């Protein structure tokens, strides 16, 4: 049997995993209200349906998965977070344009402002004598609900006046004297061809205008909705207070994020991108399937899938670099197999969904404010979404490092051969377990540095590690031959002390 016979996760299963990974499961009532406030009967399928509708209206890929990109936009639209990138205020006037709306309602994403100004420049070049384009309301600073509008929440919706035929700059309606259908058609055409940000749709009720949709209440203005910028990380601007350098993904990352043939939003790899057969450590090919996880507290047994194999290899790269000695790589994999089998199987539909929730390099958005603060000190940190609430200090911007976002998209064939080999051996029952029933690991050397501003001596590190474990009802595993625990330190939860050694097993296929 080849690995291609395993079914991919459904949208319902992905949402179940993302509810915990991204934290929106704790705000489920707000999520449902934001998706469809009139719906009363909800289940997993209904959530997929309403998410797909909302994505389609917003201009996002409509897969029904409330993944990191959709959640980043939805929580701003729902008013749960403010987005610091929605801070570009449209100017009072410029070549070919003027602002007719209140100043506090003219905030947008920078790309939206650039698209409008590009449209206005082209208009001005063709009609230097006017009339100019009248830009009305866009969004509030930071986005979110705005009075008198059901939309205008994401810095992507813009109200624009139709063009008059008498050269005056002011209000008009499509069915009133003074309205110019030909000039308004030219405006619509220029908006669609702005060259900065694609237009998702334009609402306007003149039946003679091409490129618009009719919608009640749109006789006297055009409602333009731009598609969300690509890549769709909506909060990649600096937040309040001192900020690290933040940059957009590089062109290779952009291609991976936006390719219609690439991975879906949550990073799951299509079947045609997975290894057709399991590569053996010796470089040959095996056509049998992956193994089965069995544990005393996990029933029924869990059979590994191709996505588990791919994400295990990515996990190894993220946690160990994929090139460390075999004992170090085996240790982190077995800690995760133990944790999934003994503690978290009921919470996650798959091993790879668990890995993405637990491992910081695999999280689409870092879940810990402390890990985020460490990551933000790197020049490749990308802000995603809002800021952490208490107990985090004020102004800790959510996000993830670009290197890890790219890792989450890296196909099997581009992962290091050592990481692929360890992943295959682990998930086929051929990898020895060097850490017993350890379910926890982390760098206590880094934790020491976070607390004291310097790295510890060997004696300080061991004393700190033992205190760290005792405070959590864990026991440090102690020295393990071949395992340098200054990088990753391993612990066994005290409640698992009664289990037989190496209680979790992977049965060969």
The per-residue pLDDT for range 147-205, each reduced to its tens digit, is 988 899 999 999 999 999 999 999 999 999 999 999 999 999 999 998 889 999 999 99
pLDDT of residue 4 exceeding 60, the answer is no
The whole-angstrom separation of Cα 1 and Cα 483 is 36
Mean pLDDT lowest among 308-322, 368-382, 385-399, 423-437: 385-399
pLDDT of residue 273 exceeding 50, the answer is no
Cis omega before residue 131 (within 30°)?
A: yes
Please provide the average confidence, as pLDDT, over all residues in the chain: 83
pLDDT of residue 347: 84
Q: pLDDT for 223-242, tens place per residue?
A: 999 999 854 333 332 222 22
pLDDT of residue 289 exceeding 80, the answer is no
The DSSP bridge pattern shows strands 97-99 and 133-135 to be parallel
Q: pLDDT for 67-85, tens place per residue?
A: 888 998 999 999 998 888 8
pLDDT of residue 421 exceeding 80, the answer is yes
pLDDT of residue 19: 87
Q: pLDDT for 38-74, tens place per residue?
A: 999 999 999 999 999 999 999 998 999 998 889 989 9
The whole-angstrom separation of Cα 484 and Cα 253 is 33
Among the listed residues 200, 250, 252, 245, the one whose alpha carbon sits nearest the alpha carbon of residue 225: 200
Length of the chain: 509
Model confidence band, residue 361 (pLDDT cutoffs 50, 70, 90):
very high
pLDDT of residue 8 exceeding 80, the answer is no
Model confidence band, residue 297 (pLDDT cutoffs 50, 70, 90):
low
If you average pLDDT over residues 339-357, what whole number do you get? 89
Element (H, E) at 397: strand 397-401
If you average pLDDT over residues 335-352, what whole number do you get? 90
């Amino acid at each position: 049997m080849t690995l291609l016979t395993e079914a991919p996760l459904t949208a319902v299963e992905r949402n179940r995993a993302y509810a915990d990974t991204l934290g929106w499961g704790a705000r489920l009532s707000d999520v449902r209200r934001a998706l469809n406030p009139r719906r009363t009967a909800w289940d997993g399928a209904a959530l997929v349906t309403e998410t797909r509708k909302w994505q389609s209206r917003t201009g996002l890929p409509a897969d029904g998965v409330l993944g990191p990109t959709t959640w980043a936009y939805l929580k701003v639209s729902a008013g749960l977070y403010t987005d610091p990138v929605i801070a570009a205020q449209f100017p009072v006037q410029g070549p070919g344009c003027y602002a007719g709306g209140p100043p506090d309602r003219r905030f947008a994403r920078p790309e939206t402002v650039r698209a409008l100004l590009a449209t206005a420049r082209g208009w001005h070049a063709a009609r230097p004598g006017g009339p100019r384009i009248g830009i009305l309301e866009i969004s509030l600073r930071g986005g979110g609900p705005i009075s008198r509008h059901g939309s205008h929440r994401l810095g992507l919706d813009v109200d624009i006046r139709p063009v008059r035929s008498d050269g005056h700059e002011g209000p008009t309606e499509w069915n009133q004297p003074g309205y110019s259908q030909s000039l308004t058609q030219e405006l619509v055409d220029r908006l669609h061809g702005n060259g900065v940000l694609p237009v998702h749709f334009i609402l306007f009720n003149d039946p003679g205008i091409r490129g618009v949709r009719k919608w009640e209440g749109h006789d006297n203005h055009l409602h333009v909705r731009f598609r969300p910028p690509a890549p769709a990380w909506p909060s990649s601007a600096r937040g309040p207070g001192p900020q690290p350098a933040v940059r957009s993904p590089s062109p290779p990352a952009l291609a991976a994020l936006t390719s219609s043939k690439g991975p879906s939003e949550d990073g799951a790899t299509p079947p045609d991108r997975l290894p057709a057969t399991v590569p053996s450590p010796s470089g040959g090919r095996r056509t049998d399937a992956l193994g089965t996880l069995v544990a005393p507290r996990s029933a029924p047994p869990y059979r590994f899938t191709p996505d588990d194999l791919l994400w295990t290899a990515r996990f190894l790269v993220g946690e160990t670099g994929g090139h460390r000695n075999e004992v170090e790589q085996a240790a982190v994999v077995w800690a995760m197999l133990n944790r999934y089998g003994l503690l978290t199987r009921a919470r996650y539909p798959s091993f790879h969904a668990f890995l993405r929730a637990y491992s910081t390099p695999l999280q689409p958005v870092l879940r810990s404010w402390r890990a985020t603060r460490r990551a933000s000190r790197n020049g490749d940190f990308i802000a995603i979404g809002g800021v952490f609430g208490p107990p985090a200090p004020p102004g800790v911007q959510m996000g993830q490092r670009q290197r890890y976002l790219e890792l989450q998209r890296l196909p099997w064939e581009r992962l290091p051969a050592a990481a692929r080999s360890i992943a295959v051996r682990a998930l086929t029952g051929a990898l020895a377990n060097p850490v017993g029933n350890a379910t926890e690991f982390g760098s206590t050397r880094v934790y020491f540095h976070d607390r004291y501003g310097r790295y510890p001596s060997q004696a300080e590190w061991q004393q700190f590690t033992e205190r760290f474990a005792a405070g959590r009802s864990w026991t440090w595993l102690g020295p393990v031959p071949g395992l340098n625990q200054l990088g990753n330190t391993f612990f066994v939860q005290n409640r698992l002390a009664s289990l037989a050694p190496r209680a979790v097993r992977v049965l060969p296929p």
